[in-house]
Structure formats: structure tokens, C-alpha cells
Structure 1
Amino acid sequence: MKQVDASLYVGSNFLDVYWVLSKSRDLQLYDQKLVTFRDFLDKTQYTEDNVKAYEWIFGENFISPGGAPENLKILKKFKTLRPEIRMLDIGVGIGGGARQVAREFGVHVLGCDLSSNMLVHALERNQRDKDHRVQYQICDATIYKHDKNKFDVVFSRDCVQHISDLKKLFHIIYDVLKPGGEFLITLYGKGFGELKPKFLDYVNSRHYFLKNIKELDALARTTGFEHVHTENLTPRFKEILFEERDKAVQNKVDFIEKFGEELYKKTLVGWENKLQFIDDDNHNWLLIQGFKPKD
């Protein structure tokens, strides 16, 4: 699903939408006999209740660690953000990051995501805020064909660990960037400790495909990017997990009233597990950025 540049109607509609449909040749069954990966996302990790709970934890308009302040800190690592440039945001979620970069830097953003449960929030809020610099698209970033040399920057927050073929994704990012364009990605990765069975079960349940920081660096350089920079953000991730867990504990009654005790207990267990995975150097939070050569 894509948004058109301007509404054909005068009145309540800010941006209209249209659908681009193609028949799938092959169907893969996921957990619980779900047919597509979008089904898996929308009916497991990103159910409506889970999306609302994530936003309660991370802060209004965000479902990624640290919420708006952390996202702004990461955006400031870009070297080339300036008004009017075009950004592709892969895994835009409920759209908080897209609206933030438009508001703070004047960037024009196309945010794409596979989860319709998340994008419905992004579309509704942009209808409310009416920021013409932000548009959304429901698509698989590894399949949809964007024009080559279209975007000045590509951004992704904590999404691409769901993608099995990162090599393909890096080549797609390379193709859609203009010469001299910049990409910046944060993602869940794996460390260098012995991977424990409990961590492997967690990875399989989320359909993650994790790389370590050296593998990411090599992948970007092999693709052809230059000035590649990587960071291990795991120490900050650990701090954020403690902050968010403490917030949930201190506001337990409010969380349970909104989302129920079962989800509260499940969420606490999730934090404890991640903290142990970090201590075992199994779970990492990684950043990688680089540039497409100018010539």
C-alpha cells in the first residue's frame, strides 16, 4: 500500500492510498499455520495489544528501545541530514521516528513496514498531524522495487534482524541510494559468547537472523559501501532495559489495568531474559553506517 502525493478530495482526507497487488507463487507456513510473515508479525509479536503495550513502555509514538530521546540521539549520528533530502525508513513501525526526523531536520521520509497493525497507527497519526513530508508504504523491503538512486539516506531502527538475506538487503540499499548517499541501521545482533539454548529458542521464536558486528562490517564493505562504521550499543541497551523494567514495576497497576496481568508478567520475564542474554554475550544491540561512493 502506498500514499499518493496529494489528495484528490477536499475535506477530511489528507492523503489517499492505493494498493499494488501481486499473486504469490509460493506460500510458506509459519507458526500456528500462519501463511505470510505479515500474518506472523501481526498475530504474534505485533498484535494490537502488544503494539499499545510497547508504546506505553517506550513512550508515545515509539516502539523501539529508548523511545524518542534515544531515536534522536541515533539520528544525530547521520553526517548528511539536511532539509528537503529524501529518506527511506525501513521498518518504520508506528511512525514516530519518521515524524521526528521530518520535524527536527526537515527531511522528506518514505516509511515502509510489513506490519499492517503498526502502520495503521502511523497512517492515522499522519492524518491527524498532516505532515506532507511523511508518507508510508506497506511492503516487504526486500521485494518492492524502488527506483535506483532515489534516496539521499536510508535508515532502519531495530527491524532488519527479521530479514533472512541481509546480503540482498544491503544490495537493495546500495541501489536505492544516490551516489554519496548514507545509510544507518541499528539492529539486534549476536555477540561472541557461546550461544545458550534459551537464547537460541528466543531467536527462533522471533524469526530473527542475527549477525555479529564483524559479519555486519564485512557485509557492508563487500557490498561496496565505504567509510563503514560500526558500534556495539549493547551497554546502552542494558541501561535502557533496566530503565524500562523499573518504569513498568513502578507503574504496575496502570500497566495491568490497560493490558492485563498476563502480559505484565510476560513482559517482565522478557526483560530478565534479555538481561541474561546480554550478560552471556549472546544478545547485542548493534549500529552500522556507511556511504555509497560518489562515483
Structure 2
Amino acid sequence: MESTNRKEDNHNEYETFQKFLDQKQYSRNGILRYEVIFGKDFVSTGGLGTTKEFCRMLNLKEGEKVLDVGCGIGGSAFHMARDYGAEVLGIDLSRNMIEIVKERQNEYQVPKVSFKVADATKAVYSDCSLDVVYSRDTILHIAGKDLLFQNFYSWLKPGGRVLITDYVCGPHENHTDDFKEYVAQRGYHLLTVQQYGQALKDAGFKNVQAIDKTSLFVDILRKELDAFAEKRKEFLEKFSLEDFDAINKGWNDKLERCGKGDQKWGLFYAEKIVA
């Protein structure tokens, strides 16, 4: 318990959660080294491959308005705009993420996509103004998921869809001490797959799918590690050996947490159906 408290104190040393993200977890160097293992323009599990799969689930249509919550460095937003003609607003709390993605947007000049620094828990959008809310491995940072999902529901038009992937967890009573320390250090607020799905239902969503995708997560982690090992020489031309070892350790730690049943990965899809 004392160790967990020390981890929490490390997080609380930062004046705001935004500063914790930008100065610690998502420093510019940290983001760019993550990109090497996730793939160009991505800092979320599976990179372009999973993005293509999940976007197909949404059946996006040209001109639909998408809010990408936790857009990172823009991979999903660029894909939805380029391949589907969607109008995408990407928001992220990390100033470093938005700085990088705006650099990419200036380079790519993809139409119908924009990005801004914003806190999803404080954002205000007009009722029935969006067709899709999309979020990849971001809402784990947010404690008040119930209120956030209520906002998603309000913002979506009738027939609107939400698609989320996120870190989730096994039964809370079974968590190891190491996992508790990890969650406290990162400032995560994790639910089980079932709790996550219920929170969407409680917000009013219908046709809710709450799917445990941990086996896919594990397969992706292993493939990413193998590919990353092949990029070692290229990686070390831009980053340090310490950076390389940190990513290797981080991915292997995820595999260990999944193996123990502590950490899981969920896919959540839901619709706003108005009678």
C-alpha cells in the first residue's frame, strides 16, 4: 500500500493532469518513440490495421461528422477523412499530441479534418450535431465515464454511433499489487468490460456491444514487439538505447498483466436509437 501511495504522489506532483501527460507520459520524445512501434501517425493499439477494421464497423458515409476523442497524432482522423470523406474534429488533452498532429496536417493538407486541444469532460457541442463519436485507448484516463457517455448521447444525432477501444480490467477484487501500482501511477480509471458496456446502456445507448478483445490485444502486442526488434538499428539512429529498452519493457509488462488477468482490452460499439 505504501508503494501505491508513492506512485500516486508522483502523479499528484503535477499541477494539472494535462501537465502530467505532456511532461511525463506523452512528452514529445515519448510520443515519437511510441509512433515507431504503433506505426506512422498512430499512438494506439494496432495502428492502421485496427483503425481500418473498426472504421468498417461504423459504416461511415461521406460528409458524416465525427468527433475523435483522444485523437493522438491523427492516424484515425486522417484515415476517416481520406478514405470515407468524413468531417473529423480531433481533440486531445495533450498539447504535445496536438502540436505534432497540426504539423502533420500542414504537411498532408487533408481536407475536412481539424484538431484542437480540448478536455472531453469539459467540451460542449450542440445536441444532435454529430454522427459518430470515436475514441481509441483514451477514456481510461477519465473517472466520470457515466457523465461523458451521457454527453456523447446528447451530441449524437438519432442513428448516431459510438465506437471505443479502451484498456479495461479483470474483476477488481482479483487485482495484483503490481497492477494497482501501475494503475495509480498512470492515473487510470478502469472498468471491467461488463461495467463499461453497462455505463453505455445507462447513458441511453442501444444495440450496445461490449467485447473482450484481449486475445487480439495480446496477438498485436507480440507482433508489434517482433516488428520493433527488426527496427532496432533504425530506431537507435533517432532515439536512445534507454528509449528502446523502455518500449520493450512496456510491451512485455502489458503481456504479463494480460497473462495474469489484470489488464484487458475492450471494444465497445453502441447506437443512439430514438423511437
- Scaled by the length of structure 2, what TM-score is found? 0.93
2:4 corresponds in structure 1 to: none
The whole-number CA distance in structure 1 between the counterparts of 2:212 and 2:108 is 35
Q: Distance in 1 between matches of 2:107 and 2:64?
A: 23
Shift of 1:147: 1.1
**Cα deviations by residue, 1:230-255 (Å, 9 ceiling, x for unpaired):** 11111111011111111222332322
Provide the rounded CA distance (Å) in 2 between the counterparts of 1:282 and 1:33.
27
Distance of 2:189 and 2:12 partners within structure 1 = 20
Q: CA deviation at 1:30?
A: 6.7
Aligned to 2:40: 60
Say which of 93, 96, 102 aligns to 2:72. 93
Deviations 1:84-125 (A, max 9, x none): 110011000111110101111111001111001011111111
Aligned-residue CA RMSD (Å): 1.5
Superposition map of 1:15-34 within 5 A? 31=11, 33-34=13-14
Distance 1:230 1:219 in 2: 10
1:215 and 2:195 equivalent? yes
- Report 1:40-119 matches (<5 A): 40-79=20-59, 81-119=60-98
> Which of the pair has the greater relative contact order for Cα pairs under 8 Å at 6+ separation?
2
Task: Return the letter of the residue paired with 1:40.
Answer: F
Mapping for residues 109-188 of structure 1, pairs under 5 Å: 109-188=88-167
**What is the alpha-carbon distance in structure 1 between the residues aligned to residue 142 and residue 34 of structure 2?**
21
Quick check: 1:227–1:291 contact (8 Å CA) kept in 2? yes
Segments of 5+ residues of structure 1 without an aligned counterpart are: 1-28
Instruction: Sort the Cα spacing of 1:146 and 1:240 in 2 relative to 1 into closer, same or farther, 3 A.
Output: same
Query: Does the 8 Å CA contact 2:133/2:161 hold for their aligned counterparts?
Result: yes
Unpaired runs of 5+ in structure 2?
Answer: 1-8
Conservation of the 8 A alpha-carbon contact between 1:119 and 1:138:
yes
Contact kept, 8 Å, 2:36 with 2:228, in 1: the verdict is no
TM-score, normalising length: structure 1: 0.87
The answer on 1:292 being equivalent to 2:265 is no
Of all paired residues, the percent bearing the same amino acid is: 34
Q: Which moved more, 1:35-44 or 1:120-129?
A: 120-129
3-state SS of paired residue (1:182): strand
Aligned residues: 266
